[in-house]
Structures are given as structure tokens and as C-alpha cells.
Amino acid sequence: MSGQRVDVKVVMLGKEYVGKTSLVERYVHDRFLVGPYQNTIGAAFVAKVMSVGDRTVTLGIWDTAGSERYEAMSRIYYRGAKAAIVCYGKGGSGLFLKQEGLGARLVSEKGCQIYLCGTKSDLLEEDRRRRRVDFHDVQDYADRVLALGPHRSSFFLPDELFQKVAEDYVSVAAFQVMTEDKGVDLGQKANPYFYSCCHH
């Protein structure tokens, strides 16, 4: 990685145990690690080179620790992020508050595109009653807390999600403005995307 230029700083956010590391592992190494859960300490970094049309884009992905113990540290990692993947466990505890705080802070970060990612969809497929986070709550969060414009919902596999981030970097006007260092109008950069992922 030394000397390699990162085009897009991507930060993974969300509560502990929600599945951030597994999402990155699936995307970067195409594997799902079974075994005892190991929480991330601080943050982990990985770079991934990918193609968008005839362009090469390097994502620098910071997988931050979800535990509140590391919250102060995480702020360091999302400084300057151009994309934030905010993960929430659809079948998890139902607590969305931490992400709300993080999301609100991210909006104040210049030029950060936000992707809301529902994880562990496979658990819901096994048993619909496990759903704890309602899709409408997520929509409400995007509207009310992030105060962002129109949004879409899609089911994507992990590699498709990161591909979308890279494609947006190349194609979305706000990103193009940023690369020219002209600054970003927060009002125009604002579409959150809802993604639903599982890693199996």
C-alpha cells in the first residue's frame, strides 16, 4: 500500500457486533470468518483497487470499532471521509441512536456521501419476526436527522455496495466538484442510499 494513492476514503460506522468487519472481509477477501466474535480495536484499514468503466479507483476503507469505548477515537477515522457506510443490524437490538449521532456529525463533514446499510439479512430470511429495525424508521432517520433529499432502497451484495460507492465517486457531481477542490454545497450532495446486505 505504501505510496499508493487513495481516491476515496470510506469509513464503516455502526454499533458493535453489527457486522462491519464481516462486510469488509466479504468484499475484500471474499470470505466469511466463522468462529468467536472478535471486536475491532480502534480501527482497521484496507485498500481496494477497483475499476469503474475505464477508470481505476482506489477505496481506502476504515473499519472502525463499534464499541462505545472507542467512540472518541472513531472521530479521527471519519475525518475527511468521502463516503460513510452506516451499518445497522436489521435483526439486532433495534437501537438506532448511536448511528443518529454519528450520522449527524457526518453531515457536517464536507462532502461525505452517506450509505445506510442494513446487515444480517440472512437472519431475517430465516425468521421475519427477528426484524427489530423497521424500514420506515430508517427512512425517517434519513429525512429527519440527516435532512437529506430523495432516497432509494436496494438489495445489494457487499461487492455491489462498494462498487456503488466507487461509481458515485466517479459520476456524482458533488464528488467531481470535490476533486477540483472547489468545496461542496452540503445541500446538493445529499442522497443517502439504503442497502441491505448479508455476508453468507
Ligand X SMILES: Nc1nc2c(ncn2[C@@H]2O[C@H](COP(=O)(O)OP(=O)(O)OP(=O)(O)O)[C@@H](O)[C@H]2O)c(=O)[nH]1
The residues that touch ligand X, with contacts defined as CB under 6 A, are 14, 16-22, 37, 39-40, 65-67, 119-120, 122-123, 198-200
Between residues 59 and 117, which has the closer beta carbon with respect to ligand X? Answer: 117
Position of minimal CB gap to ligand X: 66
Identify which of 67, 75, 83 has the alpha carbon closest to the alpha carbon of residue 17.
67
Closest separation between CB of residue 121 and ligand X, Å?
7
Q: How far is the CB of 35 from ligand X (least distance, A)?
A: 8
For 52-75, give the DSSP string: ETTEEEEEEEEEE--SGGGHHHHH
Which residue lies nearer to ligand X by CB, 40 or 191? Answer: 40
Residue/partner pairs of 134-138 with CB below 8 Å, 24 or more apart: 135/194, 137/96, 138/88, 138/96, 138/194
Q: Could you tell me the smallest distance in angstroms from the CB atom of residue 39 to ligand X?
A: 4
Nearest distance from C-beta of residue 66 to ligand X, angstroms: 3
Paired with 117 in beta bridges are 87, 195
Query: Which of 57, 81 has the CB closer to ligand X?
Result: 81
